[in-house]
Structure 1
């Protein structure tokens, strides 16, 4: 049995950084009425502020990462600069006087956020043995799971008592704290400084890497397609009071946390079996959710199981990507971009199904189909032995 070591404390601090970035991404959802009143925009237009952030992550993140690589900036210094950019953008968001300015700052925050996540995962991979990257990634990505449970409700609570600007200012302060932590605790040697932009791009010419990316996009897309529309499913089909919806969201977030920790515990040794089993369970849970949407107890059970799988498979997804190619910033940032694209596509196609007249359960069936396709994308790799890359570009098979 492989010996397991305690993870460096800085891995947990990087998790706090991801928590900050993810809280900022979705905090708008908890203060839509206030922002709508402040800027004289509809709730739908305020909702686009989340989309602008996601757009910045999906498109701008890889471009910014490539720019930093072209300048040959070491990982630690790159993360400090990216967090500095994030602090400036967050402060400008808090000071925004019109909708256009706030939308621009949200795009800028998204660009910096995507690159930050990619570099954070790279530093994380350099700080631990190759056979513990999935476990370490589960801690770093745990910040992503905890943000909807604590961060988003926390910023909404701040807004209710002190106003939306103070909520944005709180994110700025937390981002400053994370920047100081990175400067003080991340080893200066983390990450090979001699890797060039050409080397990084060469890692992307790997069909197995893109197979891993595709599976990740399908997993996240399947989960988000359903979760984005869970509230009307419960309130209009299962008869749940709208006042209970926040509690359901918290329960879902806690299921994400539990699933993330369990998957992270075993991801390094059983990457492909975990992905295959997780996708099978996710597809069955979404189908059950759709079939029993009018019945409260089965719906609740299915919803909780979706929380235990879906997004919770992130550590296995990250371990697969980092085992297929060297865990460098561009590889990880591209992975973040694909996941973000899955979120955007899932939210859109779920709404399109409803608008097309297929009913409130249509996002659940669409998510089930996406999870099934994701399962099919994993099956060819199940019989192959998992191998891990630790440094230079490689094309090893994951699975």
Structure 2
């Protein structure tokens, strides 16, 4: 893998840490701005809304820029938004900061994957995507706990400034490591928008949303489920979440190695395993050993299906920046759907195990969305062309 691929992964790690860390410092931010915990929760929703809606719109505005220039512009915008959050003296300013960072993060996600795919041979795109998306997994395993530790030791502003430093470092490394790219042709915007007429692309988006929704329906409520249902002590939760994070990293390494050759088996077997783990968790969540086994399996097969999901998108519609950005928005939508519906199930009185059953239902729907393509034997998802064929196709367009 070119060094630039790892730099892109570092940027994704930095930005995803910023996305997750507010959830780990709800009491600190609530006390700082004099608002309720629920109001601080809206900061998480604002970030997600920025990713879902604003990211693709900003990407359209940047399509005529060379990808390297677009990436650096988005990194700068994120840096400004994160700095605004670190300096915020009021809830309104913090809300604006989260919207800015959400919008720029979503667009940066798509541009990073587009650059990543352009730096490797077509048959290596799944592995390259696993490195870039590995930043998301490591943010769960390391970034979030580190941000919480900074909050406890030095205050929440230190966590925000730490992310600023990481983004700045990533941008400076990218300035040197990412090769210059030519300015896209004027037809590029029309070509990228035309990709959305492909029904197979929307089917792939639906599967991705359901996978992430199923995972986050459970993950969003791991802490209360593990303490109140499984009976773990609250002091052990950081360790248990660290084990989950380590499982996602290992799963991402494995799927990254296999995604290019075994995309559909990863998605189908992964969804079967995810359904089984969520069902096991729902049935035996009160038994600590089985609960932790389910947590580990969810970590291995949930979010780590991302490389296979991204590979499927490139097989269906190519490596366009807007296509990959919208995929990132779809993933964010999955986070919102899973966590929101899981929360509604708890509020409706179905108990702490109900988000696990919500996740199981979403995973089953994900399997159903794959059935037409399993019957076709993957015919709608062609094998990647060779590097020479890819170059000829690019030259033709």
Shorter chain as denominator, the TM-score bin is: over 0.9
Q: Does 1:110 align with 2:102?
A: yes
Q: For each residue in 1:74-112, what CA deviation from the matched residue of structure 2 results, as whole angstroms up to 9, or x when unmatched?
A: 100000101111111111111111001101110100000
Between 1:121-130 and 1:298-307, the stretch displaced more is 298-307
Match of 2:203 in 1: 211
* Structure 2 unmatched ranges of 5 or more: none
Match of 1:296 in 2: 288
Q: Does 1:377 align with 2:373?
A: no
| TM, length-normalised to structure 1 | 0.94
Supply the distance in 2 between the matched residues of 1:183 and 1:99 (Cα, whole angstroms).
Answer: 34
Match of 2:61 in 1: 67
Match of 1:39 among 33, 36, 41: 33
Match of 2:21 in 1: 27
Aligned CA-pair RMSD: 1.5
Instruction: Classify the secondary structure of the residue corresponding to 1:22.
Output: helix
Q: For each residue in 1:236-256, what CA deviation from the matched residue of structure 2 results, as whole angstroms up to 9, or x when unmatched?
A: 121111111111111111100
Q: Does 1:387 align with 2:366?
A: no
Contact 1:74 1:193 in 2 (8 A): no
Q: For each residue in 1:116-138, what CA deviation from the matched residue of structure 2 results, as whole angstroms up to 9, or x when unmatched?
A: 01000000000000111000000
TM-superposed CA distance for 1:388, in Å, is 3.0
TM-superposed CA distance for 1:291, in Å, is 0.5
Between 1:56-65 and 1:39-48, the stretch displaced more is 39-48
Q: For each residue in 1:56-80, what CA deviation from the matched residue of structure 2 results, as whole angstroms up to 9, or x when unmatched?
A: 00110000001112xx101000001
Instruction: Classify the secondary structure of the residue corresponding to 2:348.
Output: helix
Contact 2:277 2:298 in 1 (8 A): yes
Contact 1:76 1:190 in 2 (8 A): no
Q: For each residue in 1:322-350, what CA deviation from the matched residue of structure 2 results, as whole angstroms up to 9, or x when unmatched?
A: 11111111000000000000000111000
Supply the distance in 2 between the matched residues of 1:168 and 1:384 (Cα, whole angstroms).
Answer: 44
Supply the distance in 1 between the matched residues of 2:187 and 2:282 (Cα, whole angstroms).
Answer: 48
The number of residues matched between the two structures is 385
Contact 2:52 2:106 in 1 (8 A): yes
Q: Does 1:182 align with 2:181?
A: no
Supply the distance in 1 between the matched residues of 2:378 and 2:50 (Cα, whole angstroms).
Answer: 36
Q: Does 1:92 align with 2:84?
A: yes
> Aligned in 2, Cα 1:174/1:42: closer, same or farther, shift over 3 Å?
same
Q: Does 1:48 align with 2:42?
A: yes
Match of 1:359 in 2: 351
Contact 1:20 1:171 in 2 (8 A): yes
Supply the distance in 2 between the matched residues of 1:166 and 1:300 (Cα, whole angstroms).
Answer: 32
Supply the distance in 1 between the matched residues of 2:325 and 2:365 (Cα, whole angstroms).
Answer: 24
Supply the distance in 1 between the matched residues of 2:268 and 2:117 (Cα, whole angstroms).
Answer: 24
> Aligned in 2, Cα 1:346/1:77: closer, same or farther, shift over 3 Å?
same
Q: Does 1:142 align with 2:134?
A: yes
Match of 1:4 in 2: none
Q: Does 1:344 align with 2:336?
A: yes
Match of 2:240 in 1: 248
* Structure 1 unmatched ranges of 5 or more: 1-6, 394-399
